[in-house]
Amino acid sequence: MKALLQSIGINVSDKWLELLLPSSHILIILILSWLLLHASSKLISSFKHYVTRRTLDAGSIKRAETLAQVFSHVSTLVILLISGMLILGELGISIAPILAAAGVVGLAVGFGAQTLIKDYFNGFFLLIEDQIRHGEVVEIGQNSGLVEEVTLRHVRLRDYSGSVHFIPNSSITIVTNRSRDFSYSVIDIGVAYRENTDEVYELMRKVGSEMRTTPGIMDKIVEDLEIAGINDLADSAVIIRCRFKVLPLEQWGVRREFLYRIKKSFDAAGIEIPYPHLTLYAGQAKQGESPSFKIQSQPMDIN
């Protein structure tokens, strides 16, 4: 470098050259670091805008913003750490003891904050794998509800009663998503044993067809009613299972509407929807006579 400066007519003493050389290196490192930070910020911002332009889903936009924030923090931290170590090397400071001390501190912090670190790792993969989106209905462990927020630290659910559940990401092992792409409204109908099953099927199909042509309901149903058939021969009823393929989050409303309409249709057709009942058999004597018995009822004392 001294020869280069002399070639352009600048004479520098060895003492100044010893100061100038590290300073120039540090300046170059700072400039490169600034350029890398600027470039990474631009790339991450372009990624976020690309994703948000391709979707109108609020959950996907929120997910893209969270991931962009994570990538921004990670890239900034890595660039600053590498730049800092290079600058310390140019100043003649050995970074080996610093790295050793940082390793010990990091190990201690890691043991003390294992759950917190696991929260962030699990949250990162939840977002990357797109397991949960804002506005979906999911079941996590014993809690279920509408997803109001997904962060690297926790998932916030609000259940039907309005209670809010904050679930740490480290405790999430299985996620049951009830509203991804489409849903099925599964309905079990109980009828008396004496009823004609084919007649019941016909009434169910009729109600399903009416719902497919009713404004306000038809847009929620994707496919016609599918009757699976007799699902169980219960103690007091024949259980018939059916289902509608519906839009996400519409399975409960469609189910209530179908039950309301099928109840009216069964009442009009005289089809019994039974309730649990018990038949008492008193037995029979050897001569073929039935023993006589009497059930007495007594007033109930409520005091």
Band of residue 246 on the pLDDT scale cut at 50, 70, 90: very high
The Cα–Cα gap between 132 and 124 comes to: 12
Taking the domains of the chain in order of start, what are their residue ranges? 2-100, 127-177, 183-269
Cα–Cα distance between 194 and 237 in angstroms, integer? 9
303 pLDDT higher than 50? no
Give the integer Cα–Cα distance in Å for 186 and 246.
10
Closest Cα to residue 269, out of 189, 195, 187? 195
Instruction: Quote the mean pLDDT of the chain.
Output: 80
Scored b (16 or more CB within 10 A) or e, 78-108 reads ebeeebeebbeebeeeeeeeeeeeeeeeeee
Whole-number Å distance between alpha carbons of 83 and 88: 9
183 and 250 Cβ atoms separated by less than 8 Å = yes
Contact 254, 184 (CB under 8 A): no
The second-level CATH assignment, the architecture, of 127-177 is: Roll (2.30)
Phi, psi dihedrals of residue 222, rounded to the nearest 5°:
-90, -40
In 3D, which of 148, 125, 140, 120 has the Cα closest to residue 59?
A: 148
Lowest-confidence range among 5-14, 95-104, 205-214, 258-267? 5-14
- How many other C-beta atoms are found inside a 10 Å radius of the C-beta of residue 58? 11
SS3 label, residue 144: strand
Per-residue pLDDT, 231: 94
Cα-Cα-Cα-Cα torsion 63, 68, 74, 79, nearest 10 degrees, comes to: 170
Share of the chain above pLDDT 70, in %: 75
Mean pLDDT of 266-277: 87
* Poorest-pLDDT segment among 60-74, 201-215, 231-245: 60-74
Predicted confidence (pLDDT) at residue 76 exceeds the cutoff of 70: yes
In the sheet with 164-168, reading across from the earlier edge strand, the strands are 164-168, 154-158, 143-150, 137-140, 175-177
Identify the residue with better confidence: 70 or 165: 165
The band of 41, judged by pLDDT with boundaries at 50, 70 and 90, is: confident
* Of residues 134, 115, 122, the one with CA closest to residue 172: 122
Q: Are 227 and 176 in contact (CB under 8 A)?
A: no
Is the pLDDT score of 162 beyond 80?
A: yes
**What confidence tier does 46 reach under pLDDT thresholds 50, 70, 90?**
confident
Task: Report the pLDDT value the prediction gives residue 227, as an integer from 0 to 100.
Answer: 94
Contact indicator for 119, 168 with CB cutoff of 8 Å: yes
Q: What is the pLDDT at residue 152?
A: 80
> For 58-72, 81-95, 168-182, 186-200, which range has the lowest pLDDT when averaged over its residues?
58-72
Please state the rounded mean pLDDT for residues 170-195: 90
- pLDDT band (50, 70, 90) for residue 258: very high
Burial (Cβ within 10 Å: 0-12, 13-18, ≥19) of residue 66:
buried
Sheet of strand 183-191: strand arrangement:
183-191, 238-246, 226-233
Which position has the higher pLDDT, 233 or 44? Answer: 233
**pLDDT, greater one: 236 or 291:** 236
CATH 3.30.70.100 fits 183-269, yes or no: yes
User: Does the pLDDT value for residue 89 go beyond 50?
Assistant: yes
**Residue-level pLDDT at 149:** 83
